Structure 1
Protein backbone atom coordinates (compact mmCIF):
# COMPACT_ATOMS: atom_id res chain seq x y z
CA UNK A 1 0.00 0.00 0.00
CA UNK A 2 3.11 2.23 0.08
CA UNK A 3 2.49 4.33 3.16
CA UNK A 4 -1.23 4.19 2.63
CA UNK A 5 -4.01 4.80 5.12
CA UNK A 6 -6.68 2.32 6.11
CA UNK A 7 -9.48 2.71 8.63
CA UNK A 8 -10.22 -0.26 10.87
CA UNK A 9 -13.78 0.30 12.11
CA UNK A 10 -14.76 -1.69 15.18
CA UNK A 11 -18.41 -2.70 14.91
CA UNK A 12 -18.64 -6.10 16.59
CA UNK A 13 -20.20 -5.04 19.91
CA UNK A 14 -23.76 -5.56 21.07
CA UNK A 15 -24.35 -2.05 22.49
CA UNK A 16 -26.58 -3.21 25.35
CA UNK A 17 -26.32 0.09 27.25
CA UNK A 18 -28.21 1.82 24.43
CA UNK A 19 -31.34 -0.15 25.34
CA UNK A 20 -33.57 -2.29 23.15
CA UNK A 21 -33.33 -2.04 19.39
CA UNK A 22 -30.39 -4.20 18.34
CA UNK A 23 -26.69 -3.36 18.08
CA UNK A 24 -26.29 0.42 18.24
CA UNK A 25 -24.01 0.61 15.19
CA UNK A 26 -26.91 -0.57 13.02
CA UNK A 27 -29.62 1.63 14.52
CA UNK A 28 -31.28 4.42 12.60
CA UNK A 29 -29.89 7.90 13.13
CA UNK A 30 -31.70 10.54 11.09
CA UNK A 31 -32.61 8.16 8.29
CA UNK A 32 -29.29 6.30 8.07
CA UNK A 33 -27.68 3.58 10.12
CA UNK A 34 -24.97 4.76 12.50
CA UNK A 35 -22.34 2.64 10.71
CA UNK A 36 -23.35 4.15 7.36
CA UNK A 37 -22.77 7.65 8.71
CA UNK A 38 -19.43 6.68 10.25
CA UNK A 39 -18.11 5.15 7.02
CA UNK A 40 -19.27 8.17 4.99
CA UNK A 41 -17.45 10.51 7.39
CA UNK A 42 -14.21 8.53 7.30
CA UNK A 43 -14.01 7.80 3.58
CA UNK A 44 -14.99 11.32 2.52
CA UNK A 45 -12.33 12.85 4.80
CA UNK A 46 -9.49 10.75 3.34
CA UNK A 47 -10.16 10.23 -0.40
CA UNK A 48 -7.24 7.84 -0.93
CA UNK A 49 -8.07 5.64 2.06
CA UNK A 50 -9.67 2.22 2.39
CA UNK A 51 -11.73 0.81 5.24
CA UNK A 52 -12.28 -2.58 6.82
CA UNK A 53 -15.11 -3.12 9.29
CA UNK A 54 -14.88 -5.71 12.08
CA UNK A 55 -18.36 -7.16 12.66
CA UNK A 56 -20.05 -9.78 14.80
CA UNK A 57 -20.41 -13.20 13.18
CA UNK A 58 -24.21 -12.83 13.29
CA UNK A 59 -24.30 -9.40 11.63
CA UNK A 60 -23.43 -9.94 7.97
CA UNK A 61 -26.97 -9.09 6.83
CA UNK A 62 -27.02 -5.93 8.98
CA UNK A 63 -23.62 -4.96 7.60
CA UNK A 64 -24.83 -5.30 4.02
CA UNK A 65 -27.81 -3.06 4.78
CA UNK A 66 -25.45 -0.49 6.29
CA UNK A 67 -23.07 -0.31 3.31
CA UNK A 68 -25.74 -0.53 0.59
CA UNK A 69 -26.57 3.23 0.70
CA UNK A 70 -22.92 4.27 0.35
CA UNK A 71 -21.80 5.97 -2.85
CA UNK A 72 -20.17 3.66 -5.40
CA UNK A 73 -16.75 5.20 -4.77
CA UNK A 74 -17.04 4.51 -1.05
CA UNK A 75 -18.21 0.92 -1.56
CA UNK A 76 -15.28 0.31 -3.91
CA UNK A 77 -12.90 1.29 -1.11
CA UNK A 78 -14.39 -1.11 1.44
CA UNK A 79 -12.37 -4.23 2.14
CA UNK A 80 -14.19 -7.42 3.06
CA UNK A 81 -15.36 -7.32 6.69
CA UNK A 82 -13.52 -9.24 9.39
CA UNK A 83 -15.20 -11.21 12.16
CA UNK A 84 -14.68 -9.93 15.68
CA UNK A 85 -14.07 -11.71 18.96
CA UNK A 86 -15.51 -11.75 22.47
CA UNK A 87 -13.87 -8.46 23.44
CA UNK A 88 -12.97 -5.24 21.66
CA UNK A 89 -9.29 -6.16 22.00
CA UNK A 90 -9.86 -9.50 20.28
CA UNK A 91 -11.92 -7.84 17.56
CA UNK A 92 -9.20 -5.30 16.76
CA UNK A 93 -6.54 -8.01 16.68
CA UNK A 94 -8.67 -10.07 14.28
CA UNK A 95 -9.10 -7.01 12.08
CA UNK A 96 -5.38 -6.28 12.06
CA UNK A 97 -4.67 -9.91 11.16
CA UNK A 98 -6.98 -9.55 8.16
CA UNK A 99 -5.36 -6.23 7.16
CA UNK A 100 -1.92 -7.85 7.16
CA UNK A 101 -2.78 -9.23 3.73
CA UNK A 102 -2.91 -5.74 2.23
CA UNK A 103 -0.92 -3.51 4.61
CA UNK A 104 2.82 -3.04 4.87
CA UNK A 105 4.48 -2.37 8.23
CA UNK A 106 5.00 1.27 7.21
CA UNK A 107 1.33 1.89 6.38
CA UNK A 108 -0.92 3.74 8.78
CA UNK A 109 -4.04 2.32 10.37
CA UNK A 110 -6.64 4.49 12.08
CA UNK A 111 -8.72 2.40 14.49
CA UNK A 112 -12.14 3.92 15.02
CA UNK A 113 -15.31 3.11 16.92
CA UNK A 114 -18.32 2.55 14.65
CA UNK A 115 -20.43 4.40 17.22
CA UNK A 116 -18.62 7.71 16.63
CA UNK A 117 -20.38 8.99 13.46
CA UNK A 118 -19.46 12.65 13.95
CA UNK A 119 -15.72 12.32 13.35
CA UNK A 120 -14.53 15.37 11.42
CA UNK A 121 -12.09 15.72 8.50
CA UNK A 122 -9.92 18.00 10.66
CA UNK A 123 -9.62 15.32 13.38
CA UNK A 124 -8.70 12.65 10.83
CA UNK A 125 -6.05 14.97 9.35
CA UNK A 126 -4.60 15.52 12.83
CA UNK A 127 -4.59 11.77 13.43
CA UNK A 128 -2.68 11.07 10.22
CA UNK A 129 -0.17 13.86 10.86
CA UNK A 130 0.45 12.60 14.39
CA UNK A 131 0.85 8.99 13.23
CA UNK A 132 3.40 10.01 10.60
CA UNK A 133 5.36 12.06 13.11
CA UNK A 134 5.12 9.78 16.17
CA UNK A 135 4.11 6.31 14.97
CA UNK A 136 1.49 5.98 17.72
CA UNK A 137 -0.92 8.76 18.67
CA UNK A 138 -4.48 9.15 19.92
CA UNK A 139 -6.92 12.05 20.24
CA UNK A 140 -7.60 13.39 23.71
CA UNK A 141 -9.64 16.11 25.38
CA UNK A 142 -8.59 18.06 28.45
CA UNK A 143 -10.58 17.08 31.53
CA UNK A 144 -12.54 20.03 32.90
CA UNK A 145 -14.23 18.31 35.85
CA UNK A 146 -12.41 17.31 39.01
CA UNK A 147 -11.80 13.55 38.99
CA UNK A 148 -11.99 11.40 42.12
CA UNK A 149 -10.52 7.93 42.49
CA UNK A 150 -12.63 5.78 44.82
CA UNK A 151 -12.35 2.47 46.65
CA UNK A 152 -14.80 -0.42 46.47
CA UNK A 153 -16.84 1.11 49.29
CA UNK A 154 -17.16 4.45 47.40
CA UNK A 155 -14.62 6.13 49.69
CA UNK A 156 -12.46 8.73 47.91
CA UNK A 157 -8.84 7.65 47.94
CA UNK A 158 -7.21 10.15 45.56
CA UNK A 159 -7.79 13.31 43.54
CA UNK A 160 -5.59 13.17 40.43
CA UNK A 161 -4.24 16.44 39.06
CA UNK A 162 -6.58 17.09 36.14
CA UNK A 163 -4.05 19.13 34.16
CA UNK A 164 -2.28 15.88 33.30
CA UNK A 165 -5.46 13.94 32.45
CA UNK A 166 -7.05 13.44 29.05
CA UNK A 167 -10.31 11.81 27.97
CA UNK A 168 -9.37 9.79 24.89
CA UNK A 169 -11.29 9.16 21.69
CA UNK A 170 -10.86 7.45 18.35
CA UNK A 171 -9.55 7.27 15.66
CA UNK A 172 -6.37 6.05 17.30
CA UNK A 173 -3.57 6.21 14.76
CA UNK A 174 -0.58 3.91 14.43
CA UNK A 175 2.04 2.66 12.07
CA UNK A 176 0.54 -0.68 11.07
CA UNK A 177 3.54 -2.84 11.95
CA UNK A 178 3.79 -1.31 15.42
CA UNK A 179 0.20 -1.86 16.52
CA UNK A 180 -0.19 -5.26 14.85
CA UNK A 181 2.88 -6.67 16.62
CA UNK A 182 1.69 -5.17 19.90
CA UNK A 183 -1.71 -6.84 19.59
CA UNK A 184 -0.16 -10.17 18.60
CA UNK A 185 2.15 -10.04 21.63
CA UNK A 186 -0.77 -9.19 23.94
CA UNK A 187 -2.78 -12.08 22.51
CA UNK A 188 0.10 -14.52 22.96
CA UNK A 189 0.78 -13.35 26.52
CA UNK A 190 -2.89 -13.43 27.48
CA UNK A 191 -2.90 -9.75 28.37
CA UNK A 192 -6.58 -8.93 28.65
CA UNK A 193 -8.65 -5.99 29.87
CA UNK A 194 -6.63 -3.47 27.84
CA UNK A 195 -9.44 -1.03 27.16
CA UNK A 196 -8.11 0.68 24.03
CA UNK A 197 -5.42 0.26 21.42
CA UNK A 198 -3.18 2.85 23.05
CA UNK A 199 -3.16 0.64 26.17
CA UNK A 200 -2.07 -2.31 24.02
CA UNK A 201 0.77 -0.25 22.53
CA UNK A 202 1.78 1.00 25.98
CA UNK A 203 1.75 -2.57 27.33
CA UNK A 204 4.11 -3.55 24.50
CA UNK A 205 6.54 -0.81 25.53
CA UNK A 206 5.77 1.87 22.95
CA UNK A 207 5.40 5.57 23.62
CA UNK A 208 1.96 6.81 22.65
CA UNK A 209 1.33 10.51 22.15
CA UNK A 210 -1.79 12.66 22.51
CA UNK A 211 -3.05 15.08 19.89
CA UNK A 212 -6.09 17.39 20.26
CA UNK A 213 -9.42 15.61 20.08
CA UNK A 214 -12.81 17.02 19.10
CA UNK A 215 -15.70 17.67 21.47
CA UNK A 216 -18.17 16.85 18.67
CA UNK A 217 -16.67 13.38 18.24
CA UNK A 218 -18.81 11.76 20.93
CA UNK A 219 -19.54 8.07 21.25
CA UNK A 220 -23.13 6.82 21.11
CA UNK A 221 -23.50 4.67 24.21
CA UNK A 222 -26.89 5.32 25.82
CA UNK A 223 -30.37 6.15 24.51
CA UNK A 224 -29.80 9.71 25.72
CA UNK A 225 -26.76 9.88 23.41
CA UNK A 226 -28.98 8.91 20.47
CA UNK A 227 -31.54 11.57 21.33
CA UNK A 228 -28.84 14.23 21.51
CA UNK A 229 -27.35 13.02 18.23
CA UNK A 230 -30.73 13.22 16.47
CA UNK A 231 -31.14 16.80 17.66
CA UNK A 232 -27.58 17.61 16.61
CA UNK A 233 -28.15 16.46 13.04
CA UNK A 234 -30.64 19.24 12.51
CA UNK A 235 -29.08 21.83 14.82
CA UNK A 236 -27.23 23.59 12.00
CA UNK A 237 -27.65 27.37 11.89
CA UNK A 238 -27.21 28.21 8.19
CA UNK A 239 -30.58 27.37 6.65
CA UNK A 240 -30.75 27.47 2.85
CA UNK A 241 -33.61 26.90 0.42
CA UNK A 242 -33.15 25.76 -3.18
CA UNK A 243 -35.67 25.48 -5.99
CA UNK A 244 -35.63 23.12 -8.95
CA UNK A 245 -37.76 22.86 -12.08
CA UNK A 246 -37.65 20.41 -14.96
CA UNK A 247 -39.68 19.41 -18.02
CA UNK A 248 -39.51 16.36 -20.27
CA UNK A 249 -41.54 15.70 -23.37
CA UNK A 250 -43.67 12.59 -23.76
CA UNK A 251 -43.09 10.28 -26.69
CA UNK A 252 -43.19 6.63 -27.64
CA UNK A 253 -42.83 4.20 -24.76
CA UNK A 254 -44.63 1.98 -22.28
CA UNK A 255 -43.55 3.51 -18.95
CA UNK A 256 -42.30 6.62 -17.22
CA UNK A 257 -39.81 7.01 -14.37
CA UNK A 258 -41.12 9.34 -11.66
CA UNK A 259 -39.28 9.75 -8.38
CA UNK A 260 -37.24 6.62 -8.96
CA UNK A 261 -40.34 4.48 -9.52
CA UNK A 262 -41.13 2.82 -12.86
CA UNK A 263 -44.79 3.49 -13.68
CA UNK A 264 -46.55 1.75 -16.60
CA UNK A 265 -47.94 4.26 -19.12
CA UNK A 266 -48.88 4.36 -22.80
CA UNK A 267 -46.09 6.89 -23.44
CA UNK A 268 -42.54 7.43 -22.23
CA UNK A 269 -40.56 10.49 -21.20
CA UNK A 270 -37.84 11.58 -23.61
CA UNK A 271 -34.42 12.52 -22.31
CA UNK A 272 -30.69 11.80 -22.38
CA UNK A 273 -30.90 9.87 -19.11
CA UNK A 274 -33.98 8.00 -17.91
CA UNK A 275 -35.82 11.38 -18.02
CA UNK A 276 -37.03 11.15 -14.42
CA UNK A 277 -38.40 14.69 -14.32
CA UNK A 278 -39.16 14.55 -10.58
CA UNK A 279 -35.68 13.44 -9.49
CA UNK A 280 -34.15 16.02 -11.82
CA UNK A 281 -36.14 18.82 -10.21
CA UNK A 282 -35.21 17.65 -6.70
CA UNK A 283 -31.55 17.36 -7.70
CA UNK A 284 -31.54 20.94 -8.94
CA UNK A 285 -33.26 22.09 -5.75
CA UNK A 286 -30.54 20.51 -3.61
CA UNK A 287 -27.76 21.92 -5.81
CA UNK A 288 -29.43 25.33 -5.70
CA UNK A 289 -29.51 25.29 -1.90
CA UNK A 290 -25.72 24.95 -1.79
CA UNK A 291 -25.16 27.20 -4.83
CA UNK A 292 -23.34 24.48 -6.76
CA UNK A 293 -24.59 24.81 -10.33
CA UNK A 294 -27.29 22.60 -11.78
CA UNK A 295 -27.74 19.02 -12.90
CA UNK A 296 -26.44 19.80 -16.40
CA UNK A 297 -23.17 21.13 -15.01
CA UNK A 298 -22.53 17.95 -13.03
CA UNK A 299 -23.94 15.47 -15.56
CA UNK A 300 -23.79 17.15 -19.00
CA UNK A 301 -26.14 15.68 -21.61
CA UNK A 302 -23.31 15.92 -24.11
CA UNK A 303 -21.51 13.14 -22.23
CA UNK A 304 -22.49 9.71 -23.58
CA UNK A 305 -21.66 8.26 -20.17
CA UNK A 306 -25.03 9.46 -18.91
CA UNK A 307 -27.15 8.22 -21.82
CA UNK A 308 -29.99 6.20 -20.31
CA UNK A 309 -28.52 6.61 -16.82
CA UNK A 310 -30.69 6.09 -13.76
CA UNK A 311 -31.40 9.48 -12.22
CA UNK A 312 -31.10 8.24 -8.64
CA UNK A 313 -27.34 8.60 -8.95
CA UNK A 314 -27.74 12.30 -9.84
CA UNK A 315 -29.72 12.95 -6.68
CA UNK A 316 -27.40 10.82 -4.56
CA UNK A 317 -24.47 12.90 -5.84
CA UNK A 318 -26.19 16.15 -4.87
CA UNK A 319 -26.90 14.74 -1.40
CA UNK A 320 -23.24 13.74 -1.02
CA UNK A 321 -22.17 17.31 -1.84
CA UNK A 322 -24.30 18.56 1.05
CA UNK A 323 -22.76 15.96 3.36
CA UNK A 324 -19.25 16.96 2.26
CA UNK A 325 -20.00 20.47 3.51
CA UNK A 326 -21.05 19.07 6.88
CA UNK A 327 -24.69 19.81 6.08
CA UNK A 328 -28.03 18.05 6.29
CA UNK A 329 -31.08 18.07 4.06
CA UNK A 330 -33.97 18.91 6.34
CA UNK A 331 -36.93 18.57 3.97
CA UNK A 332 -37.92 18.29 0.34
CA UNK A 333 -41.28 19.23 -1.18
CA UNK A 334 -41.99 18.37 -4.83
CA UNK A 335 -44.94 18.75 -7.19
CA UNK A 336 -45.62 16.90 -10.45
CA UNK A 337 -47.70 18.59 -13.15
CA UNK A 338 -49.39 16.19 -15.56
CA UNK A 339 -52.77 14.91 -16.70
CA UNK A 340 -51.60 11.31 -16.77
CA UNK A 341 -50.47 8.99 -15.34
CA UNK A 342 -52.34 9.43 -12.09
CA UNK A 343 -49.76 9.91 -9.37
CA UNK A 344 -51.97 9.15 -6.35
CA UNK A 345 -51.70 5.33 -6.52
CA UNK A 346 -47.91 5.60 -6.66
CA UNK A 347 -47.34 8.46 -4.22
CA UNK A 348 -46.27 6.34 -1.23
CA UNK A 349 -43.81 4.32 -3.31
CA UNK A 350 -42.36 7.50 -4.81
CA UNK A 351 -41.93 9.14 -1.39
CA UNK A 352 -40.30 6.01 -0.01
CA UNK A 353 -37.85 5.80 -2.91
CA UNK A 354 -36.88 9.48 -2.67
CA UNK A 355 -36.41 9.12 1.09
CA UNK A 356 -34.19 6.10 0.48
CA UNK A 357 -32.01 7.89 -2.08
CA UNK A 358 -31.65 10.98 0.10
CA UNK A 359 -31.22 9.17 3.41
CA UNK A 360 -34.20 11.00 4.90
CA UNK A 361 -37.03 9.88 7.18
CA UNK A 362 -40.24 9.50 5.22
CA UNK A 363 -41.89 12.40 7.03
CA UNK A 364 -39.31 14.78 5.54
CA UNK A 365 -40.33 14.01 1.94
CA UNK A 366 -43.50 15.51 0.43
CA UNK A 367 -44.75 14.67 -3.06
CA UNK A 368 -47.84 16.26 -4.61
CA UNK A 369 -49.40 16.21 -8.05
CA UNK A 370 -51.70 18.50 -9.96
CA UNK A 371 -53.17 18.82 -13.40
CA UNK A 372 -53.11 22.11 -15.29
CA UNK A 373 -56.83 21.88 -16.12
CA UNK A 374 -55.96 20.71 -19.63
CA UNK A 375 -54.10 23.98 -20.30
CA UNK A 376 -50.65 24.21 -21.83
CA UNK A 377 -48.29 21.42 -22.90
CA UNK A 378 -49.00 19.36 -19.79
CA UNK A 379 -52.74 19.74 -20.35
CA UNK A 380 -52.31 18.54 -23.93
CA UNK A 381 -50.28 15.57 -22.56
CA UNK A 382 -47.22 16.61 -24.53
CA UNK A 383 -44.95 16.44 -21.49
CA UNK A 384 -44.62 16.31 -17.71
CA UNK A 385 -43.19 19.07 -15.52
CA UNK A 386 -41.98 19.02 -11.94
CA UNK A 387 -40.87 21.57 -9.42
CA UNK A 388 -39.19 21.04 -6.06
CA UNK A 389 -38.03 22.96 -3.03
CA UNK A 390 -35.27 21.61 -0.76
CA UNK A 391 -34.33 22.95 2.66
CA UNK A 392 -30.71 22.42 3.62
CA UNK A 393 -28.98 23.16 6.91
CA UNK A 394 -25.25 23.90 6.89
CA UNK A 395 -22.73 24.58 9.66
Structure 2
Protein backbone atom coordinates (compact mmCIF):
# COMPACT_ATOMS: atom_id res chain seq x y z
CA UNK A 1 0.00 0.00 0.00
CA UNK A 2 1.33 3.40 -0.98
CA UNK A 3 -0.03 6.24 1.18
CA UNK A 4 -0.09 9.51 -0.75
CA UNK A 5 -2.88 11.49 0.91
CA UNK A 6 -0.76 14.21 2.59
CA UNK A 7 -1.63 17.85 1.95
CA UNK A 8 1.87 19.19 1.28
CA UNK A 9 1.28 22.29 3.42
CA UNK A 10 4.74 22.23 5.02
CA UNK A 11 6.29 21.77 1.58
CA UNK A 12 4.69 25.05 0.51
CA UNK A 13 3.10 23.34 -2.49
CA UNK A 14 -0.15 24.22 -4.23
CA UNK A 15 -1.08 20.55 -4.55
CA UNK A 16 -0.95 17.39 -2.41
CA UNK A 17 2.63 16.46 -1.58
CA UNK A 18 2.68 13.22 -3.55
CA UNK A 19 1.91 15.18 -6.73
CA UNK A 20 4.86 17.54 -6.35
CA UNK A 21 7.60 16.86 -8.88
CA UNK A 22 11.11 15.74 -8.04
CA UNK A 23 13.48 16.03 -11.01
CA UNK A 24 10.67 15.75 -13.54
CA UNK A 25 8.55 13.02 -11.92
CA UNK A 26 6.04 13.16 -9.07
CA UNK A 27 6.92 11.76 -5.68
CA UNK A 28 4.08 9.27 -6.14
CA UNK A 29 5.32 7.93 -9.47
CA UNK A 30 8.87 7.63 -8.12
CA UNK A 31 7.66 5.83 -5.01
CA UNK A 32 5.52 3.49 -7.11
CA UNK A 33 8.52 2.65 -9.28
CA UNK A 34 10.48 1.69 -6.18
CA UNK A 35 7.68 -0.51 -4.88
CA UNK A 36 7.20 -2.26 -8.23
CA UNK A 37 10.90 -3.15 -8.24
CA UNK A 38 10.38 -5.34 -5.15
CA UNK A 39 9.93 -8.92 -6.46
CA UNK A 40 7.64 -10.01 -3.60
CA UNK A 41 5.05 -7.30 -4.25
CA UNK A 42 1.91 -8.69 -5.89
CA UNK A 43 -0.54 -5.83 -5.43
CA UNK A 44 -0.38 -2.07 -4.78
CA UNK A 45 -3.16 0.17 -3.51
CA UNK A 46 -2.54 3.89 -4.01
CA UNK A 47 -4.21 5.93 -1.27
CA UNK A 48 -4.66 9.48 -2.56
CA UNK A 49 -6.86 12.52 -1.86
CA UNK A 50 -10.36 12.07 -3.26
CA UNK A 51 -9.79 15.15 -5.43
CA UNK A 52 -6.94 13.40 -7.24
CA UNK A 53 -8.37 9.94 -7.87
CA UNK A 54 -8.85 10.64 -11.57
CA UNK A 55 -5.32 12.01 -11.81
CA UNK A 56 -3.82 8.63 -10.88
CA UNK A 57 -5.94 6.71 -13.36
CA UNK A 58 -2.94 6.27 -15.63
CA UNK A 59 -1.00 4.56 -12.85
CA UNK A 60 -3.60 1.90 -12.11
CA UNK A 61 -4.11 -1.42 -13.88
CA UNK A 62 -1.46 -4.13 -14.08
CA UNK A 63 2.27 -3.50 -14.46
CA UNK A 64 4.98 -6.16 -14.27
CA UNK A 65 2.26 -8.61 -13.17
CA UNK A 66 1.32 -6.40 -10.20
CA UNK A 67 -2.27 -5.23 -9.78
CA UNK A 68 -2.49 -1.49 -9.05
CA UNK A 69 -5.64 0.21 -7.81
CA UNK A 70 -6.46 3.53 -6.17
CA UNK A 71 -8.71 4.58 -3.30
CA UNK A 72 -9.52 7.88 -1.60
CA UNK A 73 -7.71 8.52 1.68
CA UNK A 74 -9.15 9.73 4.96
CA UNK A 75 -8.77 12.94 6.93
CA UNK A 76 -5.98 11.40 9.03
CA UNK A 77 -3.28 8.81 8.34
CA UNK A 78 -5.12 6.04 10.19
CA UNK A 79 -8.19 6.60 8.04
CA UNK A 80 -6.11 6.50 4.89
CA UNK A 81 -4.41 3.23 5.81
CA UNK A 82 -7.76 1.70 6.81
CA UNK A 83 -9.13 2.65 3.39
CA UNK A 84 -6.16 1.00 1.71
CA UNK A 85 -6.60 -2.16 3.75
CA UNK A 86 -10.22 -2.36 2.69
CA UNK A 87 -9.22 -2.19 -0.97
CA UNK A 88 -6.74 -5.07 -0.87
CA UNK A 89 -7.60 -8.44 -2.37
CA UNK A 90 -8.71 -11.11 0.12
CA UNK A 91 -5.71 -13.34 -0.60
CA UNK A 92 -3.17 -10.75 0.61
CA UNK A 93 -1.75 -11.90 3.97
CA UNK A 94 1.16 -9.50 4.48
CA UNK A 95 0.98 -5.76 4.02
CA UNK A 96 3.63 -3.11 3.48
CA UNK A 97 2.54 0.44 4.32
CA UNK A 98 4.83 2.89 2.53
CA UNK A 99 4.83 6.68 2.35
CA UNK A 100 5.01 8.21 -1.12
CA UNK A 101 7.04 10.99 0.53
CA UNK A 102 9.84 8.44 1.10
CA UNK A 103 10.19 7.88 -2.63
CA UNK A 104 13.96 7.29 -2.55
CA UNK A 105 13.87 4.33 -0.16
CA UNK A 106 16.53 1.84 -1.32
CA UNK A 107 15.57 -1.74 -2.18
CA UNK A 108 17.48 -3.33 0.76
CA UNK A 109 15.15 -1.59 3.23
CA UNK A 110 12.14 -3.35 1.68
CA UNK A 111 14.07 -6.62 1.69
CA UNK A 112 14.90 -6.40 5.40
CA UNK A 113 11.30 -5.66 6.39
CA UNK A 114 10.00 -8.57 4.30
CA UNK A 115 12.64 -10.91 5.70
CA UNK A 116 11.54 -10.12 9.26
CA UNK A 117 7.93 -10.92 8.37
CA UNK A 118 9.02 -14.16 6.70
CA UNK A 119 10.79 -15.08 9.93
CA UNK A 120 7.50 -14.82 11.81
CA UNK A 121 7.35 -11.21 13.02
CA UNK A 122 3.82 -9.77 13.15
CA UNK A 123 5.24 -6.32 12.52
CA UNK A 124 8.56 -4.99 11.23
CA UNK A 125 9.67 -1.43 10.56
CA UNK A 126 12.93 0.20 9.43
CA UNK A 127 14.71 2.65 11.69
CA UNK A 128 17.99 4.54 11.99
CA UNK A 129 19.84 5.55 15.17
CA UNK A 130 19.06 9.03 16.49
CA UNK A 131 22.16 11.21 16.13
CA UNK A 132 20.88 14.44 17.72
CA UNK A 133 20.58 14.96 21.45
CA UNK A 134 16.89 14.78 22.34
CA UNK A 135 15.23 16.97 24.98
CA UNK A 136 11.78 16.59 26.53
CA UNK A 137 10.21 19.96 27.36
CA UNK A 138 7.09 21.17 29.12
CA UNK A 139 4.47 23.66 27.87
CA UNK A 140 6.78 26.55 28.81
CA UNK A 141 9.66 25.16 26.79
CA UNK A 142 11.61 24.19 29.90
CA UNK A 143 13.66 21.00 29.60
CA UNK A 144 12.27 18.21 31.75
CA UNK A 145 14.46 15.31 30.63
CA UNK A 146 17.31 14.28 28.34
CA UNK A 147 16.63 10.72 27.17
CA UNK A 148 19.52 8.39 26.44
CA UNK A 149 19.63 8.33 22.65
CA UNK A 150 21.35 4.92 22.40
CA UNK A 151 18.10 2.90 22.34
CA UNK A 152 16.20 5.48 20.24
CA UNK A 153 15.41 5.02 16.56
CA UNK A 154 13.94 7.37 13.98
CA UNK A 155 11.54 5.10 12.12
CA UNK A 156 10.78 5.03 8.43
CA UNK A 157 8.65 3.15 5.92
CA UNK A 158 7.79 0.66 4.52
CA UNK A 159 6.28 -0.73 7.68
CA UNK A 160 5.29 -4.36 7.28
CA UNK A 161 2.60 -6.33 9.11
CA UNK A 162 0.58 -9.49 9.21
CA UNK A 163 -2.65 -8.33 7.59
CA UNK A 164 -4.97 -9.72 10.25
CA UNK A 165 -2.98 -8.05 13.02
CA UNK A 166 -2.97 -4.70 11.21
CA UNK A 167 -6.70 -4.89 10.57
CA UNK A 168 -7.39 -5.60 14.24
CA UNK A 169 -5.13 -2.72 15.22
CA UNK A 170 -7.07 -0.31 13.02
CA UNK A 171 -10.40 -1.68 14.21
CA UNK A 172 -9.41 -0.60 17.73
CA UNK A 173 -9.87 2.96 16.49
CA UNK A 174 -6.84 4.56 18.11
CA UNK A 175 -5.18 7.51 16.38
CA UNK A 176 -1.41 7.28 15.92
CA UNK A 177 1.34 8.78 13.80
CA UNK A 178 2.35 5.38 12.45
CA UNK A 179 0.87 1.91 12.13
CA UNK A 180 3.46 0.32 14.39
CA UNK A 181 2.05 2.27 17.34
CA UNK A 182 -1.40 0.79 16.71
CA UNK A 183 0.01 -2.73 16.57
CA UNK A 184 2.09 -2.12 19.71
CA UNK A 185 -1.06 -1.00 21.52
CA UNK A 186 -2.55 -4.45 20.92
CA UNK A 187 0.42 -6.02 22.70
CA UNK A 188 2.31 -7.36 19.67
CA UNK A 189 6.07 -7.07 19.33
CA UNK A 190 7.21 -4.96 16.38
CA UNK A 191 10.75 -5.61 15.15
CA UNK A 192 12.96 -2.70 14.08
CA UNK A 193 15.29 -3.54 11.19
CA UNK A 194 18.05 -1.43 9.72
CA UNK A 195 16.77 1.60 7.84
CA UNK A 196 18.63 3.95 5.54
CA UNK A 197 19.23 7.70 5.74
CA UNK A 198 18.41 7.94 2.04
CA UNK A 199 14.83 6.97 2.88
CA UNK A 200 14.18 10.52 4.01
CA UNK A 201 10.63 11.79 4.28
CA UNK A 202 10.18 14.76 1.96
CA UNK A 203 8.27 17.24 4.11
CA UNK A 204 9.84 20.66 3.54
CA UNK A 205 11.39 22.51 0.60
CA UNK A 206 14.83 21.75 2.06
CA UNK A 207 14.04 18.03 1.97
CA UNK A 208 13.16 18.35 -1.71
CA UNK A 209 16.53 19.97 -2.42
CA UNK A 210 18.32 17.15 -0.58
CA UNK A 211 16.35 14.54 -2.51
CA UNK A 212 17.31 16.23 -5.79
CA UNK A 213 20.96 16.04 -4.73
CA UNK A 214 20.66 12.34 -3.91
CA UNK A 215 19.19 11.68 -7.34
CA UNK A 216 21.82 13.77 -9.09
CA UNK A 217 24.64 11.90 -7.37
CA UNK A 218 23.12 8.47 -7.95
CA UNK A 219 22.72 7.83 -4.23
CA UNK A 220 19.36 6.05 -4.22
CA UNK A 221 19.90 2.34 -4.47
The offset of 1:20, in angstroms, is: 2.7
Q: Which runs of 4+ in 1 moved over 3 A?
A: none
Q: 1:103 aligns with which of 73, 91, 95?
A: 91
Structure 2 matches for 1:40-119, cutoff 5 A?
40-46=33-39, 48-64=41-57, 67=59, 73-74=63-64, 77-99=66-88, 101-104=89-92, 107-119=93-105
Structure 2 matches for 1:173-212, cutoff 5 A?
173-186=160-173, 191-192=174-175, 194-212=176-194
> For residues 48 and 11 of structure 1, what CA distance do their matches in structure 2 show?
18
> Which structure ranks higher in relative contact order (CA pairs < 8 Å, sequence separation ≥ 6)?
2
Residue 28 of structure 1 pairs with residue 21 of structure 2: yes
Residue 127 of structure 1 pairs with residue 116 of structure 2: no
> For residues 218 and 104 of structure 2, what CA distance do their matches in structure 1 show?
14
The offset of 1:48, in angstroms, is: 4.7
Decide whether the 8 Å contact of 1:45 with 1:120 is kept in 2.
Answer: no
Q: Which residue of 2 aligns with 1:167?
A: 154
Decide whether the 8 Å contact of 2:53 with 2:72 is kept in 1.
Answer: no
Q: 1:158 aligns with which of 133, 145, 149?
A: 145
Q: Which residue of 2 aligns with 1:144?
A: 131
Decide whether the 8 Å contact of 1:42 with 1:119 is kept in 2.
Answer: no
Q: Deviations over 1:251-308 (max 9, x none)?
A: xxxxxxxxxxxxxxxxxxxxxxxxxxxxxxxxxxxxxxxxxxxxxxxxxxxxxxxxxx
Decide whether the 8 Å contact of 2:13 with 2:20 is kept in 1.
Answer: no
Q: Deviations over 1:168-222 (max 9, x none)?
A: 0000011111111111122xxxx22x11000010112211111111111001100
Structure 2 CA distance for partners of 1:121 and 1:236, relative to 1, 3 Å: closer
Find the residue that maps to 2:67 and give its secondary structure. Answer: coil
Structure showing greater radius of gyration is 1
> For residues 201 and 78 of structure 2, what CA distance do their matches in structure 1 show?
18
User: Which blocks of at least 5 consecutive residues in structure 1 are unaligned?
Assistant: 1-7, 238-325, 327-394
Q: Deviations over 1:303-352 (max 9, x none)?
A: xxxxxxxxxxxxxxxxxxxxxxx6xxxxxxxxxxxxxxxxxxxxxxxxxx
Structure 2 matches for 1:178-257, cutoff 5 A?
178-186=165-173, 191-192=174-175, 194-236=176-218
The offset of 1:231, in angstroms, is: 2.0
